[in-house]
Amino acid sequence: MSKTKRIYLDHTAGRFTDSRVIEVMLPFMKLLYGNPSSIHSFGQETRQAVEDARIKIAELISAERKETIFFTSGATESNNIAIKGVADRNKDRGTHIITSSIEHMSVLNPCKFLMTNGFKVTFLPVDKYGFVNLERLKEELTDDTILVSIMYANGEIGTIQPIKAISQIVHTKNAYLHVDATAANGQVPLDVKGEGIDLLTLSSNDMYGPKGVGALYIKKGTRIKPLVHGGGQERGLRSGTENLPGMVGFGKAAEIAKKELLTENKRLKNLRDKLIKGILDPISHSFLNGHPTKRLPNNVAVRYDFIEGESILLSLDMMGVAASSGSACTTKTLEPSHVLREMGLKHEEAHGSLLFTLGKQNKEEEVEYVIDIMPNIVKRLRVMSPLTPKELKE
């Protein structure tokens, strides 16, 4: 493989937009610009396009009707509306919320904000694979609990939570279940009815749609308040003139995901397992983060003792490979990821972690290239590291 070739293996941090999605968006940037709320024909044609997109998203997650889908500006906003909107509307019934300690910051921080406003929040621990402790969930759930928010899958470690089992526990009480499916959507089949989900966060870019648009599924009858007040768009839940090209593009991305998901899922799993084996087996003191099988099809999260993930990342970048040392949202702080620490990894173990996330343009030869170059990268860095035992340096 040519050294100038660039290999992108950081799809959790950002994805390209599918060209079929861009094609359907373009007319809505050039020709179809009427405000969907206007009653003239320009508005009517764009309204139809927004509603068609809503149907496609509802179909992707087996939602009962399109009116359960609310467009937002992305996963962060959907999570904020779900958590703060449900909390505010239901505080007459209770003030207790449960979440997990490995959620994304857009779930953890709204929960922490609510703690400064009279709510109590329980952060459930996880085991060494990142699975939420279901016994603790049962114990913590009370008549005062109004909401439980657990992610479908964690993008940093790949582990997929047993959402149906969680939903059955949550619904023994009067609480709602919110699920952040950002890392999972477009990768695994989602079924809000079958899995008993009351609110579900979706992100367009995570399924090769445009950035800056997301959605929140809200089961009919769920008590929730808006955070943004204005002209009353999205049935009053999320005011603001519609992001027309974004919504249409998201709809197309959902349609493509529904059609191609199972085939792509299988292809990615093969690449994933080949990469995991190829970069762990030949290298001693190397480990997989997250569960070996109950993990996202595109997720290869590993760690190497005695060296830092950032150093591996830089070496890989020099060889044309883009990966990540963890959550793109927190890498700027250089603090080890809270997710890895909560799984019980020591500070230095968490620091030695590396994340490859595959996407639909990745080919087998790219995975083989990474498998080829990793042993030397790790060896060279271990030789330089003061933490490496002498016998490993020889």
Interface residues toward ligand PMP, by CB under 6 A:
74-76, 104, 106, 151, 155, 180, 182-183, 203, 329
Residue 205 or 362 having the CB closest to ligand PMP:
205
φ/ψ of 276, rounded to 5, equals -60, -50
Q: At closest approach, how far in Å is the CB of 95 from ligand PMP? A: 24
Q: At closest approach, how far in Å is the CB of 188 from ligand PMP? A: 13
* Distance between CA atoms of residues 174 and 194, nearest Å: 19
Residue 8 or 304 having the CB closest to ligand PMP:
8
Q: At closest approach, how far in Å is the CB of 215 from ligand PMP? A: 12
Q: Do 235 and 86 touch, CB atoms closer than 8 A?
A: no
Within 13 Å of residue 275, how many CA atoms lie on the same side as its CB? 27
Q: Do 162 and 131 touch, CB atoms closer than 8 A?
A: yes
Residue 106 or 286 having the CB closest to ligand PMP:
106
Per-residue b/e over 300-320, b at no fewer than 16 CB within 10 Å? bbbbbbbbbbbbbbebbeebb
* Distance between CA atoms of residues 301 and 314, nearest Å: 17
- Please pick, among 188, 227, 319, 329, the residue that the annotation labels catalytic: 329
Residue with structure tokens 């959907």?
A: 78
Q: Do 355 and 7 touch, CB atoms closer than 8 A?
A: no
Cα–Cα distance list, 8 to 221, 273, 317, 389 (Å): 43, 18, 10, 33
Residue 203 or 243 having the CB closest to ligand PMP:
203
Q: At closest approach, how far in Å is the CB of 257 from ligand PMP? A: 16
Which H or E run includes 100?
Answer: strand 96-100
**DSSP annotation string for 35-96:** -TT-SSHHHHHHHHHHHHHHHHHHHHTT-S-GGGEEEESSHHHHHHIIIIIHHHHHTTT--E
Whether 329 is a known active-site residue: answer yes
Q: At closest approach, how far in Å is the CB of 200 from ligand PMP? A: 12
Close Cβ partners of 267 (under 8 Å, ≥ 6 residues apart): none
Q: At closest approach, how far in Å is the CB of 304 from ligand PMP? A: 23
Pick the closest to residue 79 from 237, 228, 209, 199 (CA basis).
199
Give catalytic residue positions: 329
